[in-house]
Amino acid sequence: QVKELVLDNCRSDDGKIVGLSSDFENLEFLSMININLLSVSNLPKLNKLRKLELSDNRISGGLEVLAERTPNLTHLNLSGNKIKDINTLEPLKKLPNLHSLDLFNCEVTMLINYRESVFTLLPQLTYLDGFDADDQEAPDSDPEADGDGLEDEYENGEDDLDEEVIDDEEDEDDDLEGEEEEDGVDDEEEDEEEDGEDDEEDEADDELPRGEKRKRNLEDEGEEDPEDEEDDEDD
């Protein structure tokens, strides 16, 4: 029931893969990076295999075996191998589902018109070395691998923090406005109380006889009543 098998850096025995057999019939992904593999001639029949990683080995040819053993292959990585000529890739024409081929660090990539030649030879290809015929980069099948998910989360977190800060500032402004309004109300009440006291005094004065009112006013101003002065003189 194994669908993925990674044998990276496990040295092969004289270029052969010991233990890998057709018993792994459900394999969909097989990685054999840097195992000193000389060829793919000992690859077992793997009808369900979709992706094969063979980078950093010593493969120089014999790719016709892939069409026989892995007929449904869609992705093939031969980066860092000993492939020198375009003709070495011709057997890959028999892989109708092959959409992606990587040949980084192979001598064949140094040839003039390398990309045009490969796309012409293998018309079923969509991506060569991660780019299509129009130099458009292949989309990443795992966006989290680039950390995009983390960046979004971080940005969202920053947005949330900014919103919280703004909300806090608005709350503080509302509190200050509330306090100012209360102060304003208190001041108005104090003014009304003072005006009320003045009005009460005026009303009390109006109730007094005219002479008493005049006398009270003079007393408030610190002056003596002229009639009192005359009485003092007579004495």
- Higher pLDDT, residue 118 or 206: 118
DSSP class per residue in the chain: ---EEE-TT---BTTB-TT--TT-TT--EEE-TTS----STTPPP-TT--EEE--SS---S-THHHHHH-TT--EEE-TTS----GGGGGGGGG-TT--EEE-TT-GGGGSTTHHHHHHHH-TT-SEETTB-TT-PBPPPS-GGGGTHHHHHHHHHHHHHHHHHHHHHHHHHHHHHHHHHHHHHHHHHHHHHHHHHHHHHHHHHHHHS-HHHHHHHHHHHHT---HHHHHHHHH-
Is residue 21's pLDDT more than 90? no
Please state the rounded mean pLDDT for residues 127-143.
83
Lowest mean pLDDT among 8-12, 56-60, 66-70, 131-135: 8-12
- Higher pLDDT, residue 201 or 14: 14
Please state the rounded mean pLDDT for residues 97-117.
96
- Higher pLDDT, residue 189 or 139: 139
The pLDDT, as a whole number, for residue 186 is 54
User: Per mean pLDDT, which of 31-35, 144-148, 184-188, 205-209 is the most reliable?
Assistant: 31-35
User: Per mean pLDDT, which of 73-77, 192-196, 210-214 is the most reliable?
Assistant: 73-77
- Contacts for 22 with CB less than 8 Å, ≥ 6 apart: 44, 45, 46
Query: In this predicted model, what pLDDT tens digit does every residue of 153-172 receive, in sequence order?
Result: 444 554 554 555 455 555 55
Is residue 124's pLDDT more than 50? yes
The pLDDT, as a whole number, for residue 80 is 97
The pLDDT, as a whole number, for residue 183 is 54
Over the chain, what is the mean pLDDT? 76
CA distances from 128 to 72, 77, 105 (A): 18, 10, 13
Domain edges within the chain: 4-128
Identify the CATH assignment for 4-128 out of 1.25.40.390, 3.40.50.150, 3.30.499.10, 3.80.10.10. Answer: 3.80.10.10
Is residue 188's pLDDT more than 90? no
Residues 54, 37: contact at Cβ < 8 Å?
yes
Lowest mean pLDDT among 45-59, 73-87, 130-144, 174-188: 174-188
Would you give the distance in Å from CA 183 to the centre of its chain? 47
The pLDDT, as a whole number, for residue 13 is 75
The pLDDT, as a whole number, for residue 74 is 97
From 94, 12, 95, 14, select the one nearest 54 (Cα to Cα). 12
Residues 81, 101: contact at Cβ < 8 Å?
no
Please state the rounded mean pLDDT for residues 130-139.
92
